[in-house]
Amino acid sequence: MNSAITQDSAPVIRAVERLLPPHYSPQEQIIGALRDLWATRHYNIERLEELHRSVQVDGRFLALPIEQYRALTTFQQRNDAWIKVASELGEQVVGKALERTGLTPRDVDHIFFVTVTGISTPSVDARLMNRMRMRSDVKRTPIFGLGCVAGAAGVSRASDYLRAWKGQTALLITVELCSLTLQREDLSIPNIIASGLFGDGAACVVLQGADKAPAATGPRIVATRSVLFPDTERIMGWDVVDSGFKVVLSAKVPQLVREHIRRDVDGFLGEHGLTRKDIQHWVAHTGGPKVLQAFEDSLELVAGSLERSWKSLHEVGNLSSASVLFVLGDTLESGVAQPGDWGVMMAMGPGFCAELVLLRW
């Protein structure tokens, strides 16, 4: 738990840039490709189609053209593709984010890079430093394994750093290429749901310390909280197997949201003299229809509070760690936030855990 700090000394979010790969496939096309793949081995192909449609995703952007996935038969092939595409998308999204703020790669002091869909040593952040000719003294913090919660957690960790280094600029970069993790031999319900829910995308957040951007218009990161739910390791994550990352995804995720999120949010806000009625903007990770409904019901949100999360889910699917940053970027670009408004960014992921971020414009 982090205590609140005065707003004028809080780190500020200068920009959020989002990027999707160029290869788009409607959900029906993806269903057709998977039906062809699994038809001879799945006892109930109609159930596959039903599960895909139930996640309410209209289509997804993919790291590669859909016809190229069949040739990726090994973990090495998929991970090599991940490194190539992650480096390309990372460079593009960072460039666009810096351009938004009038900064250059030489202005960056620290990179936080998060992902859960591929592995690389040196990590992608080092590759981006070379590709973009950043200073050699840039600090790097690559974070693997937080999954869907990592977008919010990355903002929290970057803000922790900038509270100490108030005159510096940090980037949070996330690249998730979920399509490259598909286990074609796994006919389990979790894998089938994941193959219908998760998409590919990248995001970059530019953050600055209070001394670096004293007149920035916000939003400022006033406080953060991390919550781990004990003994819930098998709720979400990966089993690392010979063929790569095999998804662990329990049907209990919405139940955990309903059991915990109201208490956690109320406790977090209460420490800063706030209640849910004081929050004008809710930025929620697009975990799926049942998760978003659980957020709305448990927090007793007014209609439309999570409209941008629902829209992102329908249009691009769950982008793992990038999802909550897509929603945050949409919120900033909408221009609806007014000076003095409060916001809460929230996400949940492997652990099982939650991350809460208190924002003020």
Spatial separation of the C-alpha atoms in residues 353 and 347, rounded to whole Å: 8
CB atoms inside a 10 Å sphere around CB 185: 10
- Cα distances (angstroms) measured from residue 207 to each of 96, 156, 211, 231: 14, 11, 12, 34
DSSP classification of residue 252: T
Active-site hit among 148, 178, 204, 353 = 148
For strands 23-26 and 220-228, give the pairing.
unpaired
* Structure token digits, residue 303: 């209609």
With CA atoms as reference, report the closest residue to 112 among 55, 170, 152.
Answer: 170
Annotation says 148 is catalytic = yes
Spatial separation of the C-alpha atoms in residues 360 and 358, rounded to whole Å: 7
DSSP classification of residue 160: H
Spatial separation of the C-alpha atoms in residues 122 and 64, rounded to whole Å: 23
Active-site residues, by number, are: 148
